[in-house]
């Protein structure tokens, strides 16, 4: 069965994933554990997604398991959609949008920096420095 610390580690090794926007989040509840009483073996539970801000049947999965490819693609697609919108609005050049998209920063960080560039709160040079380009 294992030691108590192994059991606690296993109990904390979970994440929620939204089936619509594919955002993942830590699944710890009170005391740092996931409480799933009376779920009859399902891996879904009603919850509010912080990514799309909607009530969804969130998927509970092991955090140690790799994300499905569609989860990674959905985040990239969202970044590209926002960057394309900024370019079409004329608030950002296509060159700057491409540089932001190609940076190795997390997708959420890219979108945050892109919004600041579009609002003229950051210059493109400052954005590239922040993203490590």
93/57 same-domain check: no
Identify the pLDDT of residue 70.
65
- Please tell me the total count of domains within the chain: 2
48/81 same-domain check: no
pTM higher than the cut 0.75: no
Residue 25 resides in a domain? yes
Residue 32, domain extent: 13-62
Tens of pLDDT, residue by residue over 84-93, are: 999 999 999 9
Q: What is the C-alpha separation between 124 and 57, in angstroms, rounded? A: 39
Question: Which of 62, 86, 119 is the endpoint of a domain?
Answer: 62
Q: What is the C-alpha separation between 38 and 35, in angstroms, rounded? A: 10
Tens of pLDDT, residue by residue over 16-74, are: 888 877 788 877 655 555 555 545 556 777 888 877 788 888 888 877 777 776 666 77
The single residue listed with the structure tokens 């790799």 is 66
Identify the pLDDT of residue 17.
84
26/77 same-domain check: no
Q: What is the C-alpha separation between 33 and 49, in angstroms, rounded? A: 19
Residue 56 resides in a domain? yes
Residue 8 resides in a domain? no
Please say whether the beta carbons of 71 and 62 come within 8 A: no
Q: What is the C-alpha separation between 83 and 98, in angstroms, rounded? A: 8
Residue 6 resides in a domain? no
Identify the pLDDT of residue 83.
93
90/117 same-domain check: yes
């Amino acid at each position: 069965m294992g030691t108590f610390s192994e059991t606690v580690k296993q109990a904390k090794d979970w994440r929620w994933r939204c089936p619509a926007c594919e955002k993942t989040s830590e699944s710890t509840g009170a005391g740092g554990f996931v409480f799933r009483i009376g779920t009859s073996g399902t891996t879904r539970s009603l919850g509010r997604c912080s990514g799309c801000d909607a009530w969804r049947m969130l998927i509970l999965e092991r955090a140690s398991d790799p994300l499905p490819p569609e989860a990674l693609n959905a985040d990239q697609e969202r970044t590209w959609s926002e960057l394309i919108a900024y370019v079409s609005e004329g608030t950002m050049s296509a060159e700057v949008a491409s540089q932001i998209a190609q940076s190795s920063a997390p997708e959420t960080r890219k979108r945050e920096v892109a919004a600041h560039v579009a609002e003229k709160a950051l210059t493109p040079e400052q954005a590239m420095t922040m993203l490590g380009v």
